[in-house]
Amino acid sequence: MSTHPVAGGGNGGINCKRSAPLWQDLPDDLLGKVLSRIVSPRDRVRFAAVCRPWRAAASRKPAPPVAPLLLLSSCGHSKTEHMCSPDDSWVFHSPSTAANKRLVGSHDGGWVALLDTDNCVLAIVNLFSGDEVALSAEQSNIASVWPHLQTEGVSKVIFSGDPASPDGCILAAIVDGWLWITLCRVGCHDGMWTANSWDQGLIDIAFCKGDLYGLTRPSQELYKFEIGMEGDCTLLVTASQRLSIQRPNELTWNDGTKGGYTSYIFELQGKTSMAVRTRWLPNLGPFFKVFELVDIDADEVYKHKWVEATSFGGHALFIGPTRSKAVHVPVSAEHHGLERNHVYYTKYTCSWLSNLPEDVLCSVASDDGHIKMYSKEDQNFGDGVERTGYYVEGCNYATWVHPPDL
């Protein structure tokens, strides 16, 4: 049937067929309202792919902060992996360079540190783009610092910055039962791993304000490491300084009453900070408290002290074994499921070993079995900080991955 106007007709006027409105003709203000309700990075990419006007609308509308995503398996045994956010879950195709490798570290923009499960060879891969940072044979061979090192002996790898930047970055790792710190310079082809022995066990390491810090166990002492260079590319720990810190009585671990704690260090609002999860009160389950390191008057016996943070300054904390990070959350983004002054964390557990919180967020089936992600808001004791946790049920060691900004 013709859609052009024709003369005549029973109404004595013009007879025409009205065309249906097109999706691409939706007004910008309506597109903006739709986009403001989309927080999932995957859905925002789909929105922008609909047509050119939608892509232009997406570029004009600031995206909500990209929250870290949970990779449900830290060891890629298949071509697909499961990834979850607080309000979404999906299966994605992992790069072939990530196959049969264990994730031991992560950084902003989707970069992860992976170890080959057979020969302990290191790779730095972007899980979203598939790009890989070029490493020399010496840089890939992290086992060179310890002849019999296995992948399980590498506890954590951290990045001082973007590994793909022209200047590269420093990689620091804890190996062999938390007793060695190893360093390597990425971006300098002649760099290699160096071993720096340590007489105390380290529970965590982190770069804060550009400096490398380490937290000991079980004494909970904080050390600041100085990094020097031997030649053009080889890095060494040239000195270590135990910081003189006044600790609250509740952080005294030697009395044996607070057993079973877990601690992480990270940077929060420009300060070196520590999150401690333990049983703070009798007959109650464990929850996190966060402490900031502040300076004391130079005339005091102690030079620093741990002060409990009752507000994170509009940030949400993502706590996990491969990396911990503070993410700023604008007030406008709170309705997307990401909340300010909350702690989000992963927990290694098996369903037959512990009771998990209620409120299932998502449930997926993976190669390693059936996995569920839970949310729990821990009890608030009037200190101003609510603690929401995202748990993963299953024997997989879920880890945070920090996607690229959209």
Distances (CA, A) of 102 to 25, 136, 249, 299, 400: 47, 20, 39, 48, 13
Domain ranges, residue 97? 64-401
Q: Is residue 8 part of a domain?
A: no
Q: Which of 76-90, 110-124, 256-270 has the highest mean pLDDT?
A: 110-124
Q: Is residue 45 part of a domain?
A: no
Q: Indicate the number of domains in the chain.
A: 1
CA 168 – CA 164 distance, rounded (Å): 6
Q: What is the mean pLDDT of the chain?
A: 78
For residue 262, what are the contacts with CB-CB under 8 A and spacing of at least 6? 203, 276, 277, 278
SS3 letters across the chain: CCCCCECCCCCCCCECCCCCCCHHHCCHHHHHHHHHCCCCHHHHHHHHCCCHHHHHHHHHCCCCCCCCEEECCCECCCCEEEEEECCEEEEEECCHHHCCEEEEEEEHHHEEEEEECCCCEEEEEECCCCCECCCCHHHHEHHHHCCCCCHHHEEEEEECCCCCCCCCEEEEEEECCCCEEEEEEECCCCCCCEEEECCCEEEEEEEECCEEEEEEECCCCEEEEEEEEECCCEEEEEEEEECCEECCHHHCCCCCCCCCCEEEEEEECCEEEEEEEECCCCCCCCEEEEEEEEECCCCCCCCEEEEECCCCCCEEEEECCCCCEEEECCHHHHHHCCCCCCEEECCCECCCCCCCCCCEEEEEEECCEEEEEEEEEECCCCCCCCEEEEEEEECCCCEEECCCCC
Q: Is residue 239 part of a domain?
A: yes
Q: Is residue 386 part of a domain?
A: yes
Residue 402 has pLDDT above 80, yes or no: yes
| Chain segment 112-148, per-residue pLDDT in tens | 999 887 788 899 999 888 899 999 988 998 877 776 6
157 vs 399, residue with greater confidence: 157
CA 367 – CA 6 distance, rounded (Å): 63
Distance of CA 247 to the CA centre of its chain: 28
Q: Is residue 21 part of a domain?
A: no
| Chain segment 152-174, per-residue pLDDT in tens | 678 899 999 999 998 889 999 98
| Chain segment 12-21, per-residue pLDDT in tens | 444 445 555 6
Q: Given this model, what pLDDT does residue 30 score?
A: 85
The model's confidence at residue 11, banded by pLDDT at 50, 70 and 90, is very low
CA 178 – CA 9 distance, rounded (Å): 88
Q: Given this model, what pLDDT does residue 255 score?
A: 43
Residue 281 has pLDDT above 70, yes or no: yes
Q: Is residue 353 part of a domain?
A: yes
Q: Is residue 37 part of a domain?
A: no
pLDDT-wise least confident of 49-53, 90-94, 174-178, 318-322: 174-178
Q: Is residue 305 part of a domain?
A: yes
The model's confidence at residue 106, banded by pLDDT at 50, 70 and 90, is very high
| Chain segment 245-262, per-residue pLDDT in tens | 988 877 765 444 444 578
CA 184 – CA 242 distance, rounded (Å): 23
Q: Given this model, what pLDDT does residue 266 score?
A: 96
pTM: 0.82
| Chain segment 185-240, per-residue pLDDT in tens | 998 888 889 887 777 778 899 999 999 999 987 778 899 999 998 877 889 888 88
Q: Given this model, what pLDDT does residue 326 score?
A: 94
Q: Given this model, what pLDDT does residue 394 score?
A: 61
